[in-house]
Amino acid sequence: MDEELIPLSLLKEGEEGIVRSVQGGKGLISRLASMGISQNARIRVLQSAGGRFIVEAADARIALGWFEVSHIEVVRSHPRREETVPAPERRRLLVALAGQPNVGKSTIFNILTGLSQHVGNWPGKTVEKKEGTYITENTEMHITDLPGTYSLSAFSEEERITRDFILQNRPDVIALLINAASLERSLYLLSELLLLGPPVVVALNMLDVAESSGIFIDPAKLRKSLGIPVVPMIATKNSGINDLVAKILATADGEEPYHPVIPGVSLDHEEVFCELLDLIHEHVSLESYPSDWVAIKLMEGDGEISKMVKDRVPDFVRERINALLIEHEDALRAVVNGRYAWIKAVTEKAVFRKRMEEVLLTDRIDHILTRPVWGIPILLGVFALIFLLTYTVGFPLQKMLEEAVVNLGHSLEPLFLSAPPWLKGLVFEGVIGGAGSVLTFLPILVIFFAVLALLEDVGYMARAAFVMDRFMHLIGLHGKSFMPLCLGFGCNVPAIMGARILESRKARLLTLLLIPFVPCTARLAVLTFMTAALFGQAAALVSWSLLTLNILVLGIVGMAASALFLKDEQTPFIMELPLYHKPNPRTIGMVIWNRSLSFVKKAGTVIVLVSMVIWLLSYLPDGRLESSLLARGGRLLEPLGHPLGLDWKMVTALLTSILAKENAIATLGVLYGVGDEGLVRLLPSVISSASGLSFLVVLMLFVPCAATVAVMRQEMKDRRWFYLSLLLTLVISYLGGMGAYRFALWLGL
């Protein structure tokens, strides 16, 4: 049967054909051939519209014009089925990335997953969950970055999440990140992971840091003594990443020798361990829970495992287990001693320590940064430098972006010449004047995000917590509470969630009470914006003073609350101080990107909506601001603003800031009618320095944003504390605004 030759242009979208003829000059034929379109090639039409075609040939998408298509003739074909060789099915591996805090997990996770990662929360938890994919050859690795944890006890959310994930999801491979500079401590987590079942690949990271500290490790000897794969690497230099992936694949395929040396208990408790093991084997079916691990957890006194076992065994077995554990009350010490004996044995021949005569760089830096006299002034100085950097770099960029927003408004004006006045006002004054003013914050916020991420990455934030421990004790807390408080400088929402690391309920409630007094990046951005506009050369000093005021208020409130509620509470403080190391640009870049993207999304959604609503309220019912619905509501509250030196427009701006702090600027931009001048140039002509100072004091101490309030209510689980915290911020901010206004007038501002 003869084939029917037709032009390619007659094929419909989705139809296939086989090329039988390509006409035209040599140049056209050669060009088409280089793109995979030649005689006998299979071609499929993906799109045909307006004389333009998109076709698929040789596994590539190619765009063609009408002239090129007219020179190609094909015969119709049905999509290949049996004749096509199916691509090999891509296998999936579940890889758990585990490790203690500050071992470089985030760096490796970011390198492997890039922008394919997804960040959320663990189900029913407030602990961050990171997942991502890495594809190599025919394998798709699904990587879960487990929370950093020092052990697998059930004392914290992170520990429970890590062990539950491994026991319930049974990953194909666990990649355990180990800090070579703290090898013995890092191996403690390995001693527990080996009992859980899934194969473990050790990633021996930060070798450069270890060598600079005089610690030299032989990976081959360590691998021999452990009996499991060991990969030497320096993640910050992208060294060893490919070797780690190769070892994970080889271990999953069973091609890598895997004969782990399992840690035991001390010799004087081996009989106890064996008897517990026999009782478990005989009477308990523990499904995915390995018997050895359960017996160890019983000796440790793990509450969750002890309850589970006792619920499943007969009474006489329960009594025997209780009798054994009561008779051997030091069973936990036997487990710990057994692990450290194992650690000593596996590291004995693999680790060499050079005698260091000089003080390490970390010790020299800490000798200054953690001293009682210098620690807090240096911390305040760090924040002062952040403001200085913001004004010298961020503010000029912010002004350039503001001019761009103004120019955008001008460029859109011709499109709205015939539009009704309300639509013009909504777009130019509501969206561009309001949300556009907020969007100009981006350079300032990027600097805040970058500096905080840098300080965290190099290891300074742990020192900040250590330094603040002395200050925190004055308010009945300890340095660990400083970590969620410090997170508040980024955003109060994760700060409140982070308070779950505190074991004491009273300490947690007090920390939650104090977090709203920590100025988040949104407040700091408003502070930076308005002080630069109102105070000129003194802007940095005013900003630093208001930040210091916030910290002092936080301390005073904490001391008062502590005296009333936490008089008898003990506040121990145990925290790792990681070695200082070079910052990783990729990790810092990912933090800046994610936080900046979150801000842009907020500016494009919530803040745009609020700006439009505020403008409509300022326009209705007759198009005049002075008689608008917003003006009527604002004037009802204006008497409250008089002692603060605030008019109804500024009071309204404070109220809209409850939805999002950036709305304060958006509202001022709408109500004061930002035109060609831009808000920075307009503010000094409509707000006095005294009123501006009062406004900023109230804003910095005022009720937090709606998202923070919602999370506070959820986390506090106590209505009295929740309403007390809201009332406290209202009263303190109002009194603070009054005091600031009177003080500014006294100074003659």
Confirm whether pTM is higher than 0.75. no
| Residue 254 φ/ψ region, left for φ over 0, alpha for ψ in the -120 to 50 degree band, beta for the rest | left
Mean pLDDT (whole number) for 43-53:
68
Q: Residue range 577-606: average pLDDT?
A: 73
Q: How far is CA 222 from CA 186, 217, 355, in A?
A: 13, 8, 21
Alpha-carbon 640 to chain mean position = 39
Mark the binding-site residues, compressed into ranges.
99-106, 110, 113-114, 124-128, 145-148, 205-208
Q: Considering only 245-259, 317-331, 380-394, which range has the smallest mean pLDDT? A: 380-394
How many other CB atoms are found less than 10 A from the CB of residue 551? 19
Q: State whether 585 and 726 are in the same domain.
A: yes
CA distance 369 to 580: 12
Mean pLDDT, residues 688-694: 88
Whole-angstrom distance, CA of residue 247 vs CA of residue 600: 40
Average pLDDT over residues 217-244: 89
Higher pLDDT, residue 279 or 54: 279
Q: Which residue is listed with tokens 């190769």? A: 246
Q: C-alpha 744: how far from its chain's center? A: 39
**Maximum mean pLDDT: which of 226-230, 468-472, 605-609:** 226-230
User: Is pLDDT larger for residue 678 or for residue 397?
Assistant: 397
Tell which of 77, 103, 138 closes a domain: 77
Q: Residue 662: is its pLDDT beyond 80?
A: no
Same domain, 319 and 214: no
127 domain-assigned: yes
Co-location of 30 and 125 in the same domain: no
Confidence class for position 173, pLDDT limits 50, 70, 90: very high
- Give the CATH number of the domain where residue 177 resides: 3.40.50.300
Angle 563-568-571 (CA atoms, 0-180°, nearest 5)? 95
Residues 421 and 331 in one domain: no
Domain boundary residue, one of 201, 222, 252: 252
pLDDT at 191 over 80: yes
Task: Give me the phi and psi of 715, to 5 degrees please.
Answer: -80, -35
Rounded to whole angstroms, how far apart are CA atoms 527 and 693? Answer: 10
pLDDT at residue 52, as a whole number: 61
Same domain? For 95 and 73 the reply is no
| 530 and 611 both lie in a single domain | yes
586 and 516 fall within a common domain? yes
> 111 and 142 share a domain?
yes
Across the range 100-107, mean pLDDT stands at: 80
Predicted local distance difference test score (pLDDT) of residue 204: 92
Residues 283 and 144 in one domain: no
Q: Find the domain containing 14 and state its range.
A: 5-77
**What is the tally of structural domains in the chain?**
4
b/e code 147-185 from CB counts within 10 Å (16+ = b): bbbbbbbbebbbbbbbbebbbeeebbbbbbbbbbbbbee
Give the end of a domain, one of 45, 77, 109: 77
Output phi, psi for 354, to 5 deg.
Answer: -85, 135
Output the pLDDT for position 724: 85
Residue 135 exposed, middle or buried by CB count within 10 Å (0-12, 13-18, 19+): exposed
Can you give the pLDDT at residue 176? Answer: 93
Which residue do the tokens 């997953």 mark? Answer: 113
Q: Is 453 exposed, middle or buried (0-12, 13-18, 19+ CB in 10 A)?
A: buried
CA dist 431 → 186, 386, 410, 447, 686 (Å): 53, 30, 14, 25, 21
pLDDT at position 322 over 50: yes
d(CA 415, CA 403): 20
Measured distance CA(393)–CA(330) in Å, rounded: 60
Per-residue pLDDT at 676: 44
116 pLDDT exceeds 70? no
Closest CA to 13 of 54, 42, 51, 41: 54
Over residues 409-438, mean pLDDT:
73
pLDDT band at 712 (very low <50, low <70, confident <90, very high): confident
- Residue predicted with more confidence, 748 or 729: 729
Q: Edge-to-edge, what's the strand order for the sheet holding 52-57? A: 5-7, 72-77, 16-22, 42-49, 52-57, 60-65
Q: What is the CA radius of gyration of the chain?
A: 32
Known binding residues for GTP are 99-106, 124-128, 145-148, 205-208
Could you check whether the bond before residue 621 is cis, i.e. omega within 30 degrees of 0? yes
Instruction: Answer whether residue 358 is part of any domain.
Output: no
Instruction: With respect to residue 33, please indicate whether it lies within any of the assigned structural domains.
Output: yes
Which residues have CB under 8 Å from 726's CB, separation 6+?
703, 709
Which pLDDT does position 175 carry in this prediction?
93
Residue 359: pLDDT over 60: no
More confident site: 298 or 478: 298
Predicted pLDDT at 203:
93
What mean pLDDT, rounded, does the chain reach?
Answer: 77
Whole-angstrom CA distances from 334 to 167, 270, 299 are 24, 9, 8
**Mean pLDDT across 580-603:** 74
Question: How confident is the model over 619-642, as a mean pLDDT?
Answer: 78
pLDDT of 34 strictly over 70: no
At residue 82, the pLDDT reads 41
In a domain, residue 330? The reply is: yes
Neighbouring residues of 631: CB distance < 8 A, sequence distance ≥ 6: 618, 625, 648
DSSP letter string, 431-474: IIIIIHHHHTTHHHHHHHHHHHHHHHHHTHHHHHHHHHHHHHHH
584 and 440 co-located in one domain? yes
Q: What is the pLDDT of residue 480?
A: 65
Q: For residues 654 and 715, state if they share a domain.
A: yes
Residue 619 lies in a domain: yes
Helix/strand/coil for 486: helix
Tell me which of 484 and 415 has the higher pLDDT.
Answer: 415
Tell me the pLDDT tens digit for each residue of 472-515: 777 767 666 776 777 677 667 656 766 766 656 677 788 888 88
Is pLDDT of 717 > 60? yes
Residue 38 sits in a domain whose CATH number is 2.30.30.90
More confident residue, 232 or 328: 232
Looking at the structure, tell me whether residues 599 and 679 fall in a common domain.
yes
Residue 699, strand partner residues: none
Q: Which residue has the higher pLDDT, 426 or 95?
A: 95
367 lies in some domain = no
Question: 326 pLDDT exceeds 70?
Answer: yes
Q: What is the pLDDT of residue 35?
A: 59
Q: What is the CATH number of the domain that holds 273?
A: 1.10.287.1770
Question: Which pLDDT score, from 0 to 100, does residue 594 have?
Answer: 75
191, part of any domain: yes
Say what the pLDDT of residue 229 is: 92
pLDDT at 141 over 80: yes
List the binding residues for Mg(2+). Answer: 110, 113-114
| pLDDT confidence of residue 277 | 81
pLDDT for the residue 607:
63
Q: Residues 6 or more apart from 166 whose CB is under 8 A from it?
A: 96, 98, 146, 174, 193, 196, 198
Q: What is the mean pLDDT of residues 516-528?
A: 82
In a domain, 362, yes or no: no
